[in-house]
Amino acid sequence: MSLEMRIAELESRLAFQDDTIQALNDVLIAQQRVVDRMQLQLTALARRQEELLSQFGSVEDEAPPPHY
């Protein structure tokens, strides 16, 4: 295999690797956006649960129904 062929093969591999890295980076960015959005939603749900618990009291404080 000549030196020129080896260099061309390495350049081809490098271009493929660059494309793969960019594609992986794009997926990672999209997934991070999803995770960030889910964290915001989870925080909002936790805040809402705290509001409801303070408004209606804790479920654990209630006595069981008489049929138990």
pLDDT of 58 reads: 63
pLDDT at 66 over 80: yes
pLDDT at residue 25 above 90?
yes
How far is residue 46's CA from residue 53's CA, in Å, rounded to a whole number? 10
- Summarised one tens digit per residue, pLDDT across range 11-24 is 999 999 999 999 99
Give tens-digit pLDDT for 30-50: 999 999 999 999 999 999 999
Q: Which DSSP helix (H) or strand (E) runs through 53?
A: helix 3-56
